[in-house]
Amino acid sequence: MRQVRFIDPAGSTRTGEWVDGGVEFASQRFDVEDVSILPPTNPTKIVCVGLNYRLHAEETDSEIPERPLLFLKTPNTLAGHGDTIALPKDKERIDYEAELGVVIGEQCRNVSRENVDEVIAGYTVVNDLSNRDDQREEQNWVRGKAFDNSAPVGPVLAPPEALADDASIELRQNGEVKQSSTIDDMIFGVPELIEEITKLVTLEAGDVIATGTPEGVGPIGDGDTVEVEIDGVGTLVNDFVAKEFSGDTSNDFMPGQ
């Protein structure tokens, strides 16, 4: 079952099953257009991996890392499938990055790569939005990576068996393919990542590991629609606008509502 969290037409938050063209909960079926899709998990943190595809390292003129390069996104970065995301004001370049997301199923620490299956709840789709203006100017990447709604996630939590070892990952911008690869091109696979992260960091149930992006990273503009599709997992779709939210949010669309 591909699990989906959503707000039904009555305003209740539900967890149901994603089916073609809709969602099901307690023998009820809703069209996707009639509900608000939420991120499939409520993480305490998103642990992200940089430069984890060889060709992406090459396109950024970076050396292949000897160990996973890690950084964090905080809960304020979450956005859901179908949300319209406002791009930060006065920034020259905000990039898309298609990524496989690993959702953790239980609190864990010091997990060996041989035992990672015990702590994986499933997989989802992540778009790791990046503010390059500020990322280039700071070492900790808070402005560059942790701005509001910079981690669209979803639409579903797919079971572990749904993901093939060579599953394709593709990003389309306004219908045009921009990123296309397979997850077996990752430098560090999921078992290695979980082992390395949990040496020092306790992962909680619901936390997400964003496993890095393939080559083809590029900028998002006003009015763009970005789709990220991972074979066996699902397709995450978001629209983007260049506008500043006013102090009065009564007439503003906020992701997750």
Task: Please list the residue range(s) of the chain that carry CATH number 2.30.30.
Answer: 1-38
Name the DSSP letter for residue 109: S
Task: Please list the residue range(s) of the chain that carry CATH number 3.90.850.10.
Answer: 39-241
Q: What is the pLDDT of residue 1?
A: 92
CATH T-level fold of 1-38? SH3 type barrels. (2.30.30)
For residues 38 and 6, the answer to whether their CB atoms sit within 8 Å is: yes
Q: Any bridge partners for residue 236, and if so which?
A: 228
For the CA atoms of 56, 62, 65, 69, the dihedral, rounded to the nearest 10 degrees, stands at -70
- Using DSSP, state whether 157 is helix, strand or coil: strand
**Domain 39-241, CATH number (from 1.10.287.620, 3.40.50.1820, 3.90.850.10, 1.25.40.20):** 3.90.850.10
Give the Cα separation of 82 and 75 in Å (integer).
Answer: 18
Q: pLDDT tens string for the chain (257 positions)?
A: 999 999 999 999 999 999 987 999 999 999 999 999 999 999 999 999 999 999 898 888 889 999 999 999 999 999 999 999 999 999 999 999 999 999 999 999 999 999 999 999 999 999 999 999 999 898 889 999 999 999 999 999 999 999 999 999 999 999 999 999 999 999 999 999 999 999 999 999 999 999 999 999 999 999 999 999 999 999 999 999 996 544 443 333 223 32
pTM of the entire structure? 0.93
Contacts of 72 (CB under 8 A, 6+ apart): 45, 46, 47, 48, 145, 146
